[in-house]
Amino acid sequence: MGEFDWGVIWRYRAALWDGMLTSLQLFAIALAGGVFFGTLLAMARLARWKAVSVPAAGFVNLIRAIPFIMAIFWFYFLTPMIVSKFTGQQGEAVGPFTSAVVAFIMVESAYYSEIIRAGIQSIPRGQPGAAYALGLNYWQSMGYVVLPQAFRNMLPVMLTQAVILFQDTSLVYVVALKDFLGAASKAGQLTGRIVELYLFVAVVFFILCFAASRAVKGLQARLAVAR
Amino acid sequence: MPMIELRKVSKWYGSFRVLTECSTSVAKGEVVVVCGPSGSGKSTLIKAVNGLEPFQEGEIIVNGVSVGDPKTNLPKLRAHIGMVFQNFELFPHMSITDNLTLGQVKVLGRSREQAVEKGLALLDRVGLASQRDKYPGQLSGGQQQRVAIARALSMDPIAMLFDEPTSALDPEMINEVLDVMVELAREGMTMMVVTHEMGFARKVAHRVVFMDQGQIVEDCTKDEFFGSPRSDRAQAFLSKILQH
Amino acid sequence: MDWKVFLEQAPSGGMTYLGWLWSGLFWTIAVSACAWVIAFVAGSVVGVARTTPLAWARFLGTAYVELFRNVPLLVQMFLWYFVMPEVIPVAWGDWLKQDMPYLLRLPFAAQFSLWEFTAAVVCLGLYTASRVAEQVRSGIESLPRGQTSAGLAMGLTLAQVYRHVTLPMGFRIIIPPMTSEFLTIFKNSSTALTIGVLELTAQSRQISEYTFKTFEAFTAATLIYIAVTMTVILLMRALERRVAVPGYIAQGSTH
């Protein structure tokens, strides 16, 4: 103890910042893709058509049954294969970042679909009924009546999941992608200062996630008053 | 040709039969009240009329179009059949004005200005013009139901379906809703009304349909029904409901 | 597809690749089960602390939950394994890294030591405790307030109210969320591969690296995960039925 060298963080600030940008990029893409495909998956699971609802349920349950890291390995393996099959390009053309993005979108869409499904189901059945009675079709009744209410109800849960997603981006470490944690790890190997670097990573994550979850709580309280 | 015609409509939930060969009709300009004990299938029947409840056997023809036919464009049909629900079902995330214009704009393709004008005229008609910018949660139950009626009317319906429109209301609010409905009936609107309000039936109904255990037990004129109902079940029901 | 690959002799451990998978499953379950004990005990204490009328207990409980919930699990894993031995007194750190591995030879062809195992278990356990605590708290808070008042009105002490009234109902309510927490710990245990614990995911990757039968290796591990998940769900449903209180929380019971 007592011989910390905190200067290492400053010396490696550029690499750490690049890592943070990678993490944020992955986070943003996975969030957008996860919510978009998650919504479609949730609608598919609630569809009356078995040919639609059963495969959707199968996919969601499969993804939710395996570890996130296992899913990352799977898509890291599958994405280049599938891409080269469809484009004729070499599998290597797909970089690790793309594979990670695909893995995260897939996993997050499964997680988000469960949240959104609960949100849709929390809307009383009379609401889509009233929308249909006005002559709205399925997509209109979802888009104007059901989903706006569902998203409003689900907003706090979805944001909480977003905080978890941001933390989960650190898992790309297992495929040697240089995210924030990966960058710190690399710098740690070069300098032997892993203690300082990992503590720094922990503190940064804590500050960001703590602030975000506080904000979500505040929002939740405001929504509770508004209704 | 009647506006609404049901021919031997049957429906099952799994093996449980909720509707058994129900046949009746509503002519243009006619007001038909459907009554019966709870669980008798009245709500299911009226929701089958605009295809909100699918049914397995029989046929429902609305304005010449078969509701059960998979080829039927249900949204198009529903656009011209107004429906009022027990729990109002205003859209809570939209202002009153937006509730009144959603269907007009998205389904009928009216311009926003047209839709607002029409919606506000109807809102004024149900006596709630001052509430245009509020949200459903800020109105009383009776007010919400009047808005719901205005919303249905804004689509220029050729017929109106009412599914127990007053049973979720506090007693003091029932009349404000019934008054609107009576006025509509007197203007000649074609109406099918599921309700326990026998006063309403006496005042404006042309015919009364009595249901029990998924079957239509009586289907006769108002005077026949209140004068001398033929079935024991209808008599028992009437004596229970008119005691109060 | 070449499923016979699992019957081939693996380069180490004196077993086939199938043996590697079993070994991986064994360590996945061992890590999850040990961590679950920590998570359940610590989580219950922290969760109860957050519902007591004692301000300091509530503060400590909240601090615990916020701390463990807002740092990624993987980072916590590194903190326990890499950082902790360096910031405690040198002798202790050396003991962890040098002596602890020799306390006990791990069974089932483990290619890692007791120290990696312990770090993984403690990390997962304390991390999951923060999640369990939240479930315990919301379970207790979902009980009608009158229950506690009724207990106190009978002359029970606060501790007795918890022991006889609040906790027995609270724990029944949280069986379903606890099931999902256990499944979470089971899945999260794969994070231990980053500090060298060869659990199921790590073994399937290792098999894929040695044999290039990636599809087969991943499929096998995936099927095992699904099988265990379904077993846990069925067991917990049975437990739910056994402890169901007639006329209350009817889900899971068959009347």
Kindly state whether C128 is in contact with chain A, defined as any CB-CB distance less than 8 angstroms. Answer: no
Mutate to test the interface with A, among B43, B47, B52, B84 (most CBs of A within 10 A): B52
Residue of C nearest to A211 (CA): C70
Token pair of A162, please? 């977003």
Top-confidence range, B86-90, B187-191, C90-94: B187-191
Q: What pLDDT score was predicted for residue C95? A: 83
State the Cα–Cα distance between residues C127 and C35, nearest whole angstrom.
9
Q: What is the mean pLDDT of residues A158-165?
A: 92
State the Cα–Cα distance between residues B37 and B237, nearest whole angstrom.
7
Does residue C254 or residue B175 have the better pLDDT? Answer: B175
Segment C213-237, tens digit of pLDDT: 889 899 999 999 999 998 988 888 8
Q: What DSSP line would sit under chain C, residue for residue?
A: --GGGGGSBPSSTTSBHHHHHHHHHHHHHHHHHHHHHHHHHHHHHHHHHTTSS-HHHHHHHHHHHHHHHSS-HHHHHHIIIIIHHHHS-HHHHHIIIIIGGGT---STT-SS-HHHHHHHHHHHHHHHHHHHHHHHHHHHHTS-HHHHHHHHHTT--HHHHIIIIIHHHHHHHTHHHHHHHHHHHHHHGGGGGGGT---HHHHHHHHHHHH--HHHHHHHHHHHHHHHHHHHHHHHHHHHHHHPPTTSS-TT---
Residue of A nearest to B53 (CA): A129
State the Cα–Cα distance between residues A106 and A118, nearest whole angstrom.
19
Q: What pLDDT score was predicted for residue B149? A: 95
The residue assigned the tokens 């998940």 is C229
* Pair B81, B4: CB distance under 8 Å: no
Phi/psi region, residue B180 (left: phi>0; alpha: psi -120 to 50; beta: rest), is: alpha
Does residue C218 or residue C111 have the better pLDDT? Answer: C218
Q: Residue B116 contacts by C-beta under 8 Å, 6 or more apart in sequence?
A: B97, B100, B101
B30 pLDDT above the threshold of 60 = yes
C contacts of A68 (beta carbons < 8 Å):
187, 190
Please enumerate residues of B whose Cβ is less than 8 A from a Cβ of A: 47, 50-52, 74-83, 85-87, 89-93, 102-103, 106-108, 137, 148, 151-152, 155, 161
- Give the gap in angstroms from C-alpha C155 to the nearest C-alpha of chain A: 36
Segment A162-195, tens digit of pLDDT: 999 999 999 999 888 889 999 999 998 888 888 8
- Could you tell me which of A21, A157, A166 has the C-alpha nearest to residue C72? A166
Instruction: Say what percent of chain A tops pLDDT 90.
Output: 60
Q: What pLDDT score was predicted for residue B49? A: 94
C contacts of A167 (beta carbons < 8 Å):
70-73
Q: What pLDDT score was predicted for residue B189? A: 95
* Residue of A126, A127, A134 with shortest CB distance to B103: A134
The residue assigned the tokens 């312990």 is C118
Which amino acid is residue A156, in one-letter code? P
Token pair of A31, please? 């969030």
CB contact under 8 A, C78 and A198: yes
Segment A31-67, tens digit of pLDDT: 999 999 999 999 999 988 899 999 999 999 999 899 9
Mutate to test the interface with A, among C73, C76, C78 (most CBs of A within 10 A): C78
Vertex A59 angle, CA A53 and A60, to 5°: 90
C contacts of A70 (beta carbons < 8 Å):
190, 201, 204, 218, 221-222, 225
* Pair B163, B83: CB distance under 8 Å: yes
pLDDT tier for residue C194 given thresholds of 50, 70 and 90: very high
Kindly state whether A174 is in contact with chain C, defined as any CB-CB distance less than 8 angstroms. Answer: yes
Dihedral sign from CA coordinates of B96, B97, B99, B100? positive
Vertex B121 angle, CA B118 and B125, to 5°: 135
State the Cα–Cα distance between residues A183 and A189, nearest whole angstrom.
10
Does residue C159 or residue B128 have the better pLDDT? Answer: B128
Please enumerate residues of A whose Cβ is less than 8 A from a Cβ of B: 124, 126-127, 129-137, 140, 144-145, 148-149, 152, 227
A contacts of C35 (beta carbons < 8 Å):
none
Token pair of B3, please? 């506006």
Name which of A42-51, A218-227, B115-124, C18-27 the model is least confident about: A218-227
Q: What pLDDT score was predicted for residue A90? A: 65
Segment A93-115, tens digit of pLDDT: 677 888 889 999 999 999 999 99
Q: What pLDDT score was predicted for residue C88? A: 84
The residue assigned the tokens 């011989």 is A3
Dihedral sign from CA coordinates of B64, B69, B73, B77? positive
Q: What pLDDT score was predicted for residue C192? A: 93
Q: What pLDDT score was predicted for residue C253? A: 33
Q: What is the mean pLDDT of residues A129-149?
A: 92
State the Cα–Cα distance between residues C226 and C60, nearest whole angstrom.
37
Segment B110-147, tens digit of pLDDT: 999 999 999 999 999 999 999 999 999 899 999 999 99
Q: B78-88 burial by CB neighbour count: b if 16+ within 10 A, else e?
A: bbbbbbbbbbb
Instruction: List Cα–Cα distances, B174 to B125, B159, B199, C91, C155, in angstroms.
Output: 17, 22, 12, 82, 49
Q: What pLDDT score was predicted for residue A92? A: 63
* Residue of A67, A68, A198 with shortest CB distance to C75: A198
pLDDT tier for residue C249 given thresholds of 50, 70 and 90: very low
C251 pLDDT above the threshold of 60 = no
State the Cα–Cα distance between residues B105 and A147, nearest whole angstrom.
19
Residue of B nearest to A145 (CA): B91
Residue B33 bridge partners (DSSP): B193, B208
Name which of A15-24, B40-49, B221-230, C101-110 the model is least confident about: C101-110
CB contact under 8 A, B75 and A126: no
Phi/psi region, residue B89 (left: phi>0; alpha: psi -120 to 50; beta: rest), is: left
* Residue of A67, A163, A167 with shortest CB distance to C201: A67
SS3 B111: coil
- Could you tell me which of B34, B29, B77 has the C-alpha nearest to residue B190? B29
Q: What is the mean pLDDT of residues C151-173?
A: 78
| CATH tag, C21-243 | 1.10.3720.10
Segment B179-209, tens digit of pLDDT: 999 999 999 999 999 999 999 999 999 999 9
- Could you tell me which of B19, B82, B98 has the C-alpha nearest to residue B50? B82
Vertex A119 angle, CA A117 and A121, to 5°: 70
Stretch (H or E) spanning A50: helix A50-65
Which amino acid is residue A124, in one-letter code? P
- Give the gap in angstroms from C-alpha A179 to the nearest C-alpha of chain C: 12
Q: Residue B220: is it exposed, middle or buried by C-beta count within 10 angstroms (0-12/13-18/19+)? A: middle
pLDDT tier for residue C187 given thresholds of 50, 70 and 90: very high
Relative to beta strand B4-13, strand B16-26 is antiparallel
Q: What is the mean pLDDT of residues B168-181?
A: 92
Mutate to test the interface with C, among A170, A193, A194 (most CBs of C within 10 A): A170
Residue of A nearest to C67 (CA): A206
Average pLDDT value over all residues in chain A: 89
How many CB atoms lie under 10 A from the CB of residue A33? 18
- Overall CATH class of domain A22-180: mainly alpha
Residue B16 bridge partners (DSSP): B13
A contacts of B82 (beta carbons < 8 Å):
133
C contacts of A65 (beta carbons < 8 Å):
187, 222, 225-226, 229
